[in-house]
Amino acid sequence: MRIVDRGAKVVVIGEEPETTIVGQAISTMLEAVRNGHSPTAHDWHYALDEARARRADDLGSVIGAPAAALRKDMQTKPRTRGQAEYLEAIRTHGLTISIGPAGTGKTYLAMAAAVSALLNKSVERLILTRPAVEAGENLGFLPGDLKEKVNPYLRPLYDALYAMVDRDRARRMLEREVIEVAPLAFMRGRTLSNAFVILDEAQNTTCAQMKMFLTRLGENSKAVVTGDTTQIDLPPRTKSGLLDAVARLQGVEDVAIIRLQRADVVRARLVQNIVAAYEEYDKAHETGDAPNATASQDGAEST
């Protein structure tokens, strides 16, 4: 196959159906450029995958969607259909639950929406929380006081925050408690009004913890719950509060449940391949084609 630039047009020379697929991907990139977007290598691979799956219609408008307003030197845009649906759900619902594999932007996009709401004065404060659950290590063995013990679990939230807000400004907001980063246990007994609240790594909540969190929301508050149900670190036979909430809240008014897929992975092409390998291995085990596979944790589901 050859791609020839002839000035006013680009010609794809080769055999069908690949020429049609490449032509659709190029058209997608051109539409995104007209919308003010500078396509990346990921955008190109995603456009090709969507064209092969015959889902290329209007993809250029998704990739070139308007950016979330953050710092002057930074913009955040959805890069897949799933991400665009996710951001729209956050905009239009009081509670959005996002389930998906690593690298799909669950936390990053939620943080972008939250910071935008805070800077635009739609809410008065931003609250970031996650359960302090160990992945094979015991919290008690870590040195220091309680704050020093839980900070490693909250570091991903700080990283996402500092990526979107100048560090000095973020520190001032943290000092004034305009932005709060805390373990989930610290939410008990509170009423969170006029706030944008993000619960990250929610697959590691118990059913009681999830109910406690969801019933903290007050007037003019918005919440986003994110998690990956293939990475549950709870003790065996302990049901994930995220899975329980999804089962209970289906069809509830003002609640959106978004399932991001392998195609929505934007972290790196390698991550998408790793997610695909795990999904295919688990699927083979479920059908009995992989007799050496180990059983997955009770309650986990494939996304």
Tell me which residue of 159, 165, 188, 160 sits closest to 178, measured CA to CA: 165
Let me know how many helices (H) and strands (E) the chain has, helices first.
Answer: 10, 10
Whether the predicted pLDDT of 65 surpasses 60: no
Residues 145, 139: contact at Cβ < 8 Å?
A: no
* pLDDT at 303 exceeding the cut of 50: no
Supply the mean pLDDT for the chain: 80
Tell me: pLDDT of 59 over 50.
yes
**What does the pLDDT read at residue 73?**
44
Domains and CATH numbers, the chain: 1-64 (no CATH), 67-286 (3.40.50.300)
Evaluate if residue 288 carries a pLDDT over 50.
yes
Structure-model confidence comparison of residues 161 and 43, the more confident one: 161
- Residues 6+ positions from 107 with CB-CB distance below 8 Å: 156, 157, 160, 198, 200, 226
- Greatest extent of the chain over all pairs of C-alpha atoms, in Å: 67
Q: Is residue 300 predicted with pLDDT exceeding 50?
A: no
Read off the tokens for 169. 């400004």
Other Cβ atoms closer than 10 A to 135:
9
Residue 243 has pLDDT above 90, yes or no: yes
247-260 mean pLDDT: 96
Complete edge-to-edge strand list for the sheet that includes strand 222-227: 179-183, 125-130, 195-199, 222-227, 95-99, 255-259
Provide the percentage of residues in the chain whose pLDDT is more than 70: 76
CA dist list (Å): 76 to 20, 154, 163, 200 = 31, 22, 11, 19
Q: pLDDT tens-digit profile of 197-225?
A: 999 999 999 999 999 999 999 999 999 99
Q: Answer yes or no: is pLDDT of 246 > 50.
A: yes
Of the candidates 216, 220, 260, the one whose C-alpha atom is nearest the C-alpha of residue 107 is 260
Please give the residue that has the higher pLDDT: either 113 or 297. 113
Q: What is the pLDDT of residues 260-282, one digit of tens each?
A: 998 888 766 777 678 778 878 87
List, for residues 170-190, the tens digit of each pLDDT value: 899 999 999 998 889 889 999
Number of alpha carbons in the 13 Å side-chain half-sphere of residue 301: 14
Q: What are phi and psi of 65, to 5 degrees?
A: -65, 155
Between CA 241 and CA 248 the distance in angstroms is: 10
- Return the higher-pLDDT residue of 283 and 137: 283
Res. 141 pLDDT band, cuts 50 70 90: low
